[in-house]
Structures are given as structure tokens and as C-alpha cells.
Structure 1
């Protein structure tokens, strides 16, 4: 929007109030991203703060080759990975994980029974345990792809990677997560993937 672009232009020239408007515009979305990657609210808040600080310090170098939101997501995602690596934490992202088709889970057409709800909750806990074992790099791409529904091209922009690397990391992350779920004994082996011919379509 034009107002946003004006704030960006003014903030680039050092206008702190304009930058504060950008923070207010994006703080909820940035925190949602960092919370999914870091899980703990205090870690997520720290990563979000680092991302906005990096944005303020680096705004004069922002040339608009990608959208401001994409650039900000990149800073937030990198801040999360840095925090996880720095503190040696491998915490899972919050909320549901990979989509039902990828996990071979049949979503019920009606409200789940108590037993079904308990089973799905148990599966989610296993997924979270698996995500904790993934490297920050693999968790990073899975969060952006499966939870924030970014395309391969958008993830490539956010992380400054080529699309092939993004696809490779997502594939490896999914395979590692499946392996961990299979080893847990609470996940049945999936049939041959229907995704083979669809990779990169989104």
C-alpha cells in the first residue's frame, strides 16, 4: 500500500516514527513466525526484537528488490536460527505440523470422537518431538512451507537461497521427520507419494 511505502521511504531517511508504524504493522505477523520456530514466547520475542533491530539498522540498504515483508521475514527467520544455534536449543514449532497429505493422516469429515481427538493429539506430540530433533535449517523451511504456506519461490527469497536448495531441504526435512515418526511406532508407512509430479507446482 502507498502508506506503507511512504513509511519505508521515511524510515530509510531516519524517521523513527515512520519505522514505529512499520513495527506496529508487522509485529503480530513477525511474532507468529518466530513463535512457530522458537516455540517459547520469551525466545520468540527476543528473535522478533532482533529482527526489527536488524531491519532498522539495515533499512538504508533495502532496495525493494523483494517486498518489505519478505525481507522482514528473512531477518526474523535468520534471527530464530541464530538464537537456536547460539543457545543449542532444538525446540519444535508450535501448532500443527506437516499437512495431512504429507503425513498420510486422513482428516475426519466430522468432529472427531474423544478417542480420535486423543489419537490425533498423541500424533501431534510425536510430530513435535520429531521436529525438535531436526536441524534449525530443516525446521526453518518446514515452518515457512507448511505452517506459513509460502511457495518455494517465496521461501527462496526469504532465506536468500536458490529454489533447488529449498526443495532439497524440505524433502530431507520431511524424510527425517517421517523416519522419526516411524521409529516412534505411532505412524504407519505412507504409500508411494503422490507429490512426485507436483513438486514445485505451488
Structure 2
């Protein structure tokens, strides 16, 4: 989508690689499900919601990085970051990946639309950043129906991520102040 002027062979190869990787992911999902028992499909789906969502919506495949991040953070069954640090790290990783995917989706829809203000990938990244952070300057906005659907989803996700980070931070502050109050000598 971003590389224009590619030779026809490369243009034909890109979807083949995409569909091939999706087929490999589907095969991996099916094998892991079958190893858990053939009658345990719903239990597998409940235990692996991210994999299930990514299987249904391949566009969200980069979100699997969260599992890799979680594996790196584990050391002797003890996380290296506190719960609050992990929430903020997950939210940050999700925001970057979600913003990139939304910028690509909106750019694809808007780049040739009549009356579009999002004409370049840079415009779509700017739009995604301002939308995800709930700033929404309004200088660039999607005009196509699918672009607006992506925008609505990004707005909801931006609010959810902001709420998760704000909640984790305020919970950490309350816990820190409560510990400080417990360590003070009793008042006379």
C-alpha cells in the first residue's frame, strides 16, 4: 500500500505472502486447539482470545507482539514489571500498533476519495495520533464511510487505553500514598 511503482511480480507476490502467513497462523491455531482436545474448542477460545480475534481479523496480527512481550517479561514466574508497569506497557504497545493499523486502513480508504483531507500516509499517521490521544484537531478527517467506521473504532479504543493508563496510574498513586500513611508515626 505504501510502496508505489513496484514491479507487477512484487505486487502479485505481496497478497500471496499475506495469505500464506494467514494460512500458517490458521494451521498453528488449529493444531494448538486439537492438542488441547477436540471437544474443548470453546475453552480454547476463552483461554486464547487474542489469537481468536487475530484469526478472524488478520489486520490485527501485529497485536500478537503482546504475547512476545509477556514472555520476555516473565522470569522465574515473576514479572519484571509491577502490575501497573505492565498495564502501561501493554497500553503503550497496543496504542502504537493500533495507531499504525488505523493509519494504514484510513490511508487506503481516503487517499483517492473526492474531497479527502487525508492524502498522504503522513496525514493519516497525524490523524491517527490526534484521534488516538483524543485530541482530534479536526484539520484532517475521514470522509469515506469505511474511513469513518475506522475512526469511530479508534476513538473508542483511544478512550479505553486512556482509561486503562489513567486508572493504573491513579491506583498506583493511591497505593503509594496509603503505604506512606502506614509508615508515619501516630499523631498526638
TM-score (normalizing by structure 1): 0.30
Q: Between Structure 1 and Structure 2, whose CA radius of gyration is higher?
A: 2
TM-score (normalizing by structure 2): 0.31
Bigger relative contact order, structure 1 or 2 (CA pairs below 8 A, ≥6 apart): 1
